Amino acid sequence: MDWSRVPVFLKVVDQGSFTAAAKALGVPKSTTSRSVTTLERELNVQLIKRTTRALELTEAGRAFYARAKAASAALEEAQAELQQNADEVSGRVRLSVPNDGAPLVSVIAAFTRKHPAIEIELLVTNRHVNLIEEGVDLALRAGKLDDSSLIARKLAQSDHGLFASPEYLRKHGTPKKLEDLAKHEVVLFRSRVSKQRLRLQSGTGDEREVMVHGQISADDLSFIQGLVFSGVGLGLLPIFFMQSRSHGVRFERVLPDWRVTGGGVHLVMPAQKYVPARVRLLADFIYENFKPSDCTRH
């Protein structure tokens, strides 16, 4: 098959007609039409339904167009990359991070200083975006990964610890043992009742369950962090998240020998044969520099 006919087919679809495509390519309309007809014959399938008013892709044509368009874009980007060295890679990377993705702030800032020609568009949301449908290159996700089609690199272990504001502890005292938690107010996470059972693990491998209570519950960790800072109670929050805070907000770790084991923190991307250099550079930089304190690095 003559692959030079594929760009002609793509141009016809993009322009919406053979006439417009011929004008854009600078060739006669008959040449454009003949090229697509020959391509269909070589593929042994009809790609375009021709009518007097408009052209319409067949089902096979839509599938071929999607694959061919992606391949064409990859080839164009590969060609562009050959014309510039790694320090001059440019373009935009779309990165999805959760609302509590503060540990990435310093990493992103350092990356932009090193690669000033690469733009980063951050989508800050707790929603698990569809990377393919929404055109997202990378995503930071904590917890269990449900989509096995994604390429994932583990950055850290998202364990949770108990934190409180100094003001709360001065007023109510600091818990010395797990049983003391029953005397304290706890901001609960995603609880529809005023009590919640916590399963905590110690550094020596012991495991205990305790019942805690609280007047307030929330489903957003950043909101819980704000409530804890306001002094309404203790809060169970990601250790790496709290230790990455650098805005002058002080918290104290309560019962530091105990924690709730969480899932991993992963950097994910769609599975694809070709990864643009700008995406690869950012992914590698995050993996090498994401070093939250008190996390297990893998």
DSSP H helical ranges for 97-215: 105-114, 166-172
Domains 86-156+263-289 and 160-259 share a fold: yes
- Tell me the mean pLDDT in the region 266-280: 85
| CATH code of domain 5-82 | 1.10.10.10
For the whole model, what pTM was predicted? 0.54
Q: Please tell me the distance from the alpha carbon of residue 145 to that of residue 131, in angstroms, as a whole number.
A: 14
Q: Is 188 helix (H, G, I), strand (E, B) or coil?
A: strand
pLDDT tens-digit map of 44-81:
999 998 876 778 889 998 899 888 888 887 777 666 66
Structure confidence at residue 246 (pLDDT): 44
Q: Indicate whether 242 pLDDT > 50.
A: yes
The mean pLDDT of 268-287, rounded to a whole number, is: 88
Supply the pLDDT for residue 245: 52
CATH class belonging to 160-259: alpha beta
pLDDT at residue number 54: 74
**Contact status, residue 228 vs residue 234, Cβ threshold 8 Å:** yes
Long-range contacts of 171-180 (CB under 8 A, 24+ apart): 171/231, 174/252, 174/254, 175/234, 175/254, 175/255, 177/255, 178/208, 178/210, 178/255, 178/258, 179/210
Mean pLDDT of the chain: 84
Residue 247 has pLDDT above 70, yes or no: no
Pairing of strands 234-238, 217-218: unpaired
What confidence category does residue 297 fall into, taking pLDDT thresholds of 50, 70 and 90? very low
Please report the pLDDT score of residue 184 as a whole number: 95
At residue 276, the pLDDT reads: 86
Determine which helix (DSSP H) or strand (DSSP E) holds 164, and give its type and residue range: strand 160-164
Reported as a pLDDT band with limits 50, 70 and 90, residue 250 is confident
The per-residue pLDDT for range 88-147, each reduced to its tens digit, is 788 899 999 987 666 788 899 999 999 999 999 999 887 888 888 788 999 998 777 776
Domain layout of the chain by residue ranges: 5-82, 86-156+263-289, 160-259
Q: What is the rounded average pLDDT of the residues 175-187?
A: 94
Q: What are phi and psi of 17, to 5 degrees?
A: -165, 160
Q: What are phi and psi of 270, to 5 degrees?
A: -65, 145
pLDDT of 248 > 60? The answer is no
Confidence tier at 87 by pLDDT (50, 70, 90)? low
Q: What is the pLDDT of residue 192?
A: 81
Residue 84: predicted pLDDT: 55
How far is residue 140's CA from residue 152's CA, in Å, rounded to a whole number? 10
Superfamily of domain 86-156+263-289: Periplasmic binding protein-like II (3.40.190.10)
At 295, the pLDDT band (50, 70, 90 cuts) reads very low
Confidence (pLDDT) at 56: 86
Query: With bands split at pLDDT 50, 70 and 90, how would you rate the model's confidence at 272?
Result: confident
